[in-house]
Amino acid sequence: MRPELKFGVIGSGMGGLAAAITLRRKGFAVDIYDRAPEPREIEAGVTLWPNATGLFNKWGLLDAALEQGCALRSIELRSWNGKMLTSSEAIGKYRFPTLCMHRAGLIALLRGAIPRDRFHGSATFDHFDLDQESPIVHFEEGTSAKADAWVGADGLHSKVRSQIHGKRAPHFRGYQRYRGIANGDHSSVREKAFESWGYGKRFGACPIGHGRIAWYATINARPGTLGDPRIWKAELQDRYSNWHNPIPLLIQSTPDAAISKDEIYDREPLFEWGRGCVTLLGDAAHPMTPNLGQGECMTLEDADCLSESLANNLEIAECLRTYEFFRYERTRFMTLDSRRLGEMGQWVHPLAVLIRNLWLRFLPQRTIDARYATLFDYGD
């Protein structure tokens, strides 16, 4: 593979940035195109499990990430009233840490590893000409760009994916998610993450450093019912008023404007993601529900595998199909397992919830820790 080859990346989110970083590490030229003139991020946290922080270490970014975030020592799963269901300290014993940090800080860290002149804003993908040796991408603004290969990292509603596989709507999974960042010293969430399950509702939180706690909440809902942002905090306070501490306090400690709400979707796994000298990465290829906390980690793994697949003497299209082949089974497992976990976490029927909670309470610790090992098993 010739190092002078040029790659174009559609999307400047985590996937696009990670792809650019890994490709540049292999000596390739990379340009990133995004419809937004400047990056925008919501008030939310992100968890980088050991499979992701190991990659940050490989790319020379782990120390900077640790300065921004908070390394976890344990994780707990509780019922809505605070009764312990499962817990594990195994995440604090891996070679690389589990790190929680502000999403905006993570994006800024990744952007800082790429020269500013490689970014091209106000470039909204329209279509590409695939029947050429070096595909040309056309943007809605009337401009175009040429590269030897293209990576579609444009998210859940990827237009790159739509041109390759046809326009199909993602699948709504029956619940919505609130997210926010709470301020203040919440000692019960220090170096520890927790998630609590109720009846058709969940709430989770983790420390992200600098006196901040990232939290999320899920509720069963119909699609298209996000409602008025001005009352989202009041909705949360009403729905979680009798849940265990510090949940009501975390909601109260979050400014109204710092609360976001979205609907949870995924797609059925695809075996072959791209075509010719175009491929997909991250949510464009395999959007998954957030229940395993592995969506961002799978995106980082994609970027690493992509660059490693390109570092051989095959033709570009062959390298891209090799990358897709290696990533299919792991991302398929994560997508389906995350979906199943979310369905179980959103159960409403009292008997089903009772059985679920009893099963979780009596799970052997070795089974819990082995499950984490499966999730984190990527490289070294």
Work out the pLDDT band at 41, boundaries 50, 70, 90. Answer: confident
369 lies in a domain? Answer: no
For residue 319, how many other CB atoms are within 10 A of its CB? Answer: 22
99 lies in a domain? Answer: yes
Last residue of a domain, one of 241, 266, 291: 266
Looking at the structure, do residues 65 and 187 belong to the same domain, yes or no?
A: yes
Looking at the structure, do residues 181 and 251 belong to the same domain, yes or no?
A: yes
Distance of CA 380 to the CA centre of its chain: 20
CATH code for the domain of 66: 3.30.9.30
Per-residue model confidence as pLDDT tens digits over 326-376 = 999 999 999 999 999 999 999 999 999 999 999 999 999 999 999 999 999
Please report the pLDDT score of residue 126 as a whole number: 95
Of residues 258 and 185, more confidently modeled: 258
Looking at the structure, do residues 314 and 177 belong to the same domain, yes or no?
A: no
354 lies in a domain? Answer: no
Give the span between the Cα atoms of 254 and 180, in whole angstroms. Answer: 7
| Conformational region of residue 293, where left means phi above 0, alpha means psi within -120 to 50, and beta covers everything else | left
260 lies in a domain? Answer: yes
pLDDT of 182 higher than 60? yes
Looking at the structure, do residues 232 and 139 belong to the same domain, yes or no?
A: no
Looking at the structure, do residues 255 and 177 belong to the same domain, yes or no?
A: yes
Structure tokens at 11: 């999307």
Looking at the structure, do residues 325 and 279 belong to the same domain, yes or no?
A: yes
Are 181 and 213 contacting, i.e. CB atoms less than 8 angstroms apart?
yes
Task: Please give the average per-residue pLDDT across 117-142, as a whole number.
Answer: 90
Q: How many domains, the chain?
A: 2
pLDDT of 312 higher than 80? no
Please tell me whether the peptide bond between 229 and the residue prior to it is cis, using omega within 30 degrees of 0. no
Looking at the structure, do residues 153 and 274 belong to the same domain, yes or no?
A: yes
107 lies in a domain? Answer: yes
Angle, helix 14-25 to helix 295-310, in steps of 10 degrees? 30
pLDDT of 380 higher than 70? no
355 lies in a domain? Answer: no
Give the span between the Cα atoms of 182 and 239, in whole angstroms. Answer: 18
CATH code for the domain of 292: 3.50.50.60
Looking at the structure, do residues 126 and 236 belong to the same domain, yes or no?
A: no
Distance of CA 48 to the CA centre of its chain: 9
For residue 273, how many other CB atoms are within 10 A of its CB? Answer: 27
Last residue of a domain, one of 266, 291, 309: 266
Which amino acid makes up residue 57? N
Task: Please give the average per-residue pLDDT across 287-310, as a whole number.
Answer: 96
Give the span between the Cα atoms of 200 and 186, in whole angstroms. Answer: 26
Percent of all residues in the chain with a pLDDT value above 90, rounded to a whole number: 86
Residue position matching structure tokens 């999403």:
103
Are 10 and 136 contacting, i.e. CB atoms less than 8 angstroms apart?
no
Structure tokens at 46: 């992100």
163 lies in a domain? Answer: yes
Of residues 72 and 1, more confidently modeled: 72
Q: Model-level pTM?
A: 0.95
Domain holding 298, by residue range, is 6-37+121-170+268-348
Looking at the structure, do residues 15 and 127 belong to the same domain, yes or no?
A: yes
pLDDT of 1 higher than 70? no
Looking at the structure, do residues 129 and 20 belong to the same domain, yes or no?
A: yes
Q: HSE-up of 293 (CA within 13 Å, CB side)?
A: 25
Per-residue model confidence as pLDDT tens digits over 291-302 = 999 999 999 999
Looking at the structure, do residues 325 and 188 belong to the same domain, yes or no?
A: no
Which amino acid makes up residue 309? S
138 lies in a domain? Answer: yes
Work out the pLDDT band at 187, boundaries 50, 70, 90. Answer: low
Are 218 and 229 contacting, i.e. CB atoms less than 8 angstroms apart?
no
Looking at the structure, do residues 324 and 187 belong to the same domain, yes or no?
A: no
* 233-235-236-240 Cα dihedral, nearest 10 degrees: 150
Task: Please give the average per-residue pLDDT across 1-28, as a whole number.
Answer: 91
Per-residue model confidence as pLDDT tens digits over 77-115 = 999 999 999 999 988 889 999 999 999 999 999 999 999
